[in-house]
Amino acid sequence: MHISIEKAKQCDGFMLDNELIWLASAAAYHTLIIEVGSWHGRSTRALADNTPGQVYAVDHFNGSAAEQDTHGSAGLMKGDHAFITFCRNNIDHLQHGAVIPFRGDSQNMAALFHDCGIKADMIFIDAGHTTEEVINDIMTWKKLLTEDGLFCGHDYGRFGVTQAVDSMTFRKQIVSGTALWFCGKKDIRDLPEAVKPKS
């Protein structure tokens, strides 16, 4: 199996090379991938370059709440800049339908997919990073995962993400030397068992 991350490495972003390799390798075995949190499309590129199917890229392209607080609505955090950069980085895949962007709030897009009967065999979560945001994304998007699908995410080791993943999964595995975590659908708790953070 040949894995390519060369074009992904040319995109700016926060994914390490070994993380891109893991995503690319996983993508090779999945045909409908939902990526929740795409930003400039570095991880999107790794997924799309290696899947035999499609990547649905979900993002509002406004940056995280922390980034908006730090940078305001100007400059690089402004949505059109991020979305245009994402499109430039994935233009060939966009033209051929291998990447389909869904620009909107994570929860709203999940509701849309649910209403349309869309199910994915791989879901990658890398959107909001507070505990509550990650819990909500796990709970919402797990409903759209096929029974034998792969559920995974980034930034395990950051407090909010770690707390959410630990509270929402019976079992998960961490990819050695990375901030990636993964599990199966059966390893994710149902909402009544979740421990939500106090606001």
Looking at residue 52, its amino acid is P
Rounded CA separation 113/4 (Å)? 29
| 106 strand-pairing partners | none
At residue 92, φ and ψ (nearest 5 deg) are -65, -40
Whether 133 and 140 have beta carbons less than 8 Å apart is answered as: no
Whether 126 and 36 have beta carbons less than 8 Å apart is answered as: yes
Helix 106-115 vs helix 131-141: angle between axes, to the nearest 10 degrees? 10
pLDDT tens per residue, range 137-160: 999 999 999 999 999 999 999 999
Domains of the chain, with CATH numbers?
6-193 (3.40.50.150)
Q: How confident is the model at residue 115 (pLDDT cuts 50, 70, 90)?
A: very high
Q: How confident is the model at residue 191 (pLDDT cuts 50, 70, 90)?
A: low
pLDDT tens per residue, range 47-98: 999 999 999 999 999 876 554 444 444 455 566 899 999 999 999 999 999 9
Q: How far is CA 51 from CA 2, 121, 151, in A?
A: 11, 11, 16
pLDDT at 165: 97
